[in-house]
Amino acid sequence: MKYERQLLMPQIGQEGQKKLEQSTVTVIGSGGLGSPVLTYLTCAGIGTIRIFDCDVVSESNLNRQFLHNTKDVDKLKIRSAEEKLSVLNPDVNLIAINKRLDKDNAEDCIKGSDVVVDCVDNIATRITVARACIKLNIPLVEGGVSGFYGYVIDIGRNYPCLSCMGYDKVIQKTPVPILGVTAGVIGCMQANECIKLLLGIGDPLYGRMLTYDGLSASWEEIHVEKSESCPIHKYKIKKQ
């Protein structure tokens, strides 16, 4: 039986599995973070997974984006991802959309999701996704990587977002150096948070930024609070 080992878990069981199968998750990006996120959510039997990406596979992606391989170079990432994931678990309803999220379409793109997982490679899109999730009150699992380092945090209407931490003001140098393993570690943690949020189990990473240091092989938490001056949360308060 496909899900036998997770059905044995008291936190999941038949009831939890049914919940997963009735869930809709939107994953933004099918690259370094998106590869492990999409793989494990597909394996876990999420009912519907929407994938957004507008990029094509390039050779420089292959050190970390394991959903794509040398034969996929120049192919749309959503097509390449869909091919692998549909074989991995044909029972998952995969909806792959070739679109870049922006402030005009973000809400329409994520509408109806139980959880959104942000796997993009730039800060501007992270802020756009967070704004839409907070407005529509959809939990968001956020992750980022650089070199041997990474972080994961859950974001919600009542919990701090990246703008609360001033993260929207920073300009990131590109291309970002990334070891494939680091994206794998953080992506797996994002998938784990997503499953927890869908099932309503455990302690989500709300208000806690979990940071990973692959060089010292250690994890640490940064406690964060909502900011009164946060432009995203402030907007929400005004609308309430």
Partner 1 sequence: MIEVRFFATFREGRGKSSLLEEKDYENTGKILEHFHILREEVAILLLNGVYIASDAPVKDGDVVALFPPVGGG
Nearest to 196 by CA among 181, 210, 213, 178: 210
Does residue 34 interact with partner 1 by CB under 8 A? yes
When binding is defined by CB under 8 A, the residue of 16, 29, 139, 204 that contacts partner 1 is 29
d(C-alpha 152, C-alpha 181), whole Å: 15
Task: Find the shortest distance in angstroms from Cβ 47 to partner 1.
Answer: 24
Q: Dihedral, CA atoms, 125, 131, 133, 137, nearest 10 degrees?
A: 170
Q: Which stretch binds partner 1 (CB under 8 A): 1-9, 76-84, 99-107, 213-221?
A: 213-221
Q: Identify the helix (H) or strand (E) that includes residue 50.
A: strand 48-52
Does residue 1 interact with partner 1 by CB under 8 A? no
Judged by CB under 8 A, the chain residues 134 through 173 that form the site for partner 1 are 143-147, 149-151, 164-167, 170-173
Cα distances (Å, whole numbers) of residue 215 to 32, 119, 182, 186: 19, 22, 10, 14
**CB-nearer residue toward partner 1: 143 or 156:** 143
> Which residues does residue 150 pair with via DSSP β-bridges, in sequence order?
145, 212
Q: Identify the helix (H) or strand (E) that includes residue 233.
A: helix 231-239
Does residue 32 interact with partner 1 by CB under 8 A? yes
Task: Find the shortest distance in angstroms from Cβ 223 to partner 1.
Answer: 4
177 preceded by a cis bond (ω within 30 of 0): no
Q: Phi/psi class of residue 234: alpha, beta or left (left: φ > 0; alpha: ψ in -120 to 50)? A: alpha
When binding is defined by CB under 8 A, the residue of 222, 231, 235, 237 that contacts partner 1 is 222
Judged by CB under 8 A, the chain residues 57 through 96 that form the site for partner 1 are none
Number of residues that bind partner 1 (CB under 8 A): 45
Does residue 184 interact with partner 1 by CB under 8 A? no
Residues that bind partner 1 (CB under 8 A): 29, 31-34, 118-123, 126, 143-147, 149-151, 164-167, 170-173, 176-178, 183, 209, 211, 213, 215-216, 218, 220, 222-225, 227, 229
